[in-house]
Amino acid sequence: MTLSVINRYLLIATGLFFANTTSAQDFRLPDQHKAQHGRLLANQGNAGITVDNTTRYLESLFSDEDEPEFDIYTEGWDSKRVNCYTESMVPQTADIDVSKFSMPHPGYITSPYGYRRRFRRMHKGVDLKINMGDTIRAAFDGRVRITNFERRGYGNYVVLRHTNDLETVYGHLSAFLVEPDQYVKAGTPIALGGNTGRSTGPHLHFETRYMGYAINPCAIFDFANQTTHTDSYTFDKNTYQNARNFSPAANSEYAKRYLKENPTKPWRATASSSSKGKGSATYVVRKGDSLSRIASRNGTSVSRLCKLNGLSTKSKLRPGQKLKLR
């Protein structure tokens, strides 16, 4: 090959190089690059991670959760109806100030917001770990709109109307510390935690509502860090069910710290009592119970339950079956 031919190929290659070189204006910023990268990944097809798999995974993290409550805002209430917004025009979006707040209770999430496939019903709040009789506090400044009892779900519950246009609901309470129409500040004790209504153990069912819309509390509160995500929350009809950076792993880590500082206390599961005054000596199995749930709710261990009742860890429990706790 002669020198002139070589030079000709070099010129062609150089021309092709410059013809295909991206100009400075075409370089993408990091966030644009990430968005493009995300689109490329999305276009690669199904990699085996499906919504169904994700749902099963999340449900497995909270396998001992209580059955969701019936919605007191929409179901079966003719008098003292909780949802007074049925005829109201709800805006598409609204900015809500959440800067002045108090955590209703420092407990970790035992059951998150969302649809429960096995119960075929939405869980329109979060359940927080408590011990019987723990103090429950107002999340924001506001006025008590309702204190009531709902046998099928919430048990004793309080609804607060807040000055930031939100309403909050607190369910399964053992006692009220406030009365309807009473004004409260954020952090004011409003009730004692309990196990009333549709509940298999002490917990606080906590909801955040905007004009009847049940917002995911994890869109407003960061329960693992005991704060709000930001000073302002933007309600949107298209996204109000979404969490905001909710991490099951972070919740699990917080749960470990919380349980170390606030160990679970035994609670009375039946009307029977022991002569030593340490709570019930027996437990009547309810639908959905497991050995691990019964053990954790009664301050004992699965191995001890098995030893006392002649069971194995794989034994099937029957509703109505009586188990010895001690």
Taking Cα atoms as reference points, which of 127, 175, 130, 171 lies closest to residue 153?
A: 171
Ordered per-residue pLDDT tens for the chain, 326 residues: 554 544 454 444 444 434 444 333 343 444 544 444 444 333 333 333 343 444 444 444 555 556 666 666 654 333 355 556 666 788 999 999 999 999 999 999 998 998 878 777 788 999 999 999 999 999 999 999 999 988 778 889 999 999 988 999 999 999 999 999 999 999 999 999 999 888 878 999 999 999 889 999 999 999 999 999 999 999 999 999 999 988 889 999 999 999 999 988 877 654 333 333 334 578 888 887 888 778 756 656 777 888 888 898 888 898 888 888 87
Q: What is the pLDDT of residue 70?
A: 65
Q: How far is CA 251 from CA 108, 114, 212, 236, in A?
A: 7, 16, 27, 25
So what's the pLDDT on residue 140? 97
The predicted pLDDT at position 37 comes to 41
Using an 8 Å Cβ cutoff, are 58 and 248 in contact?
Answer: yes
The pLDDT score that the predictor gives to residue 131 is 93
Q: Tell me if residue 296 falls in helix, strand or coil.
A: helix
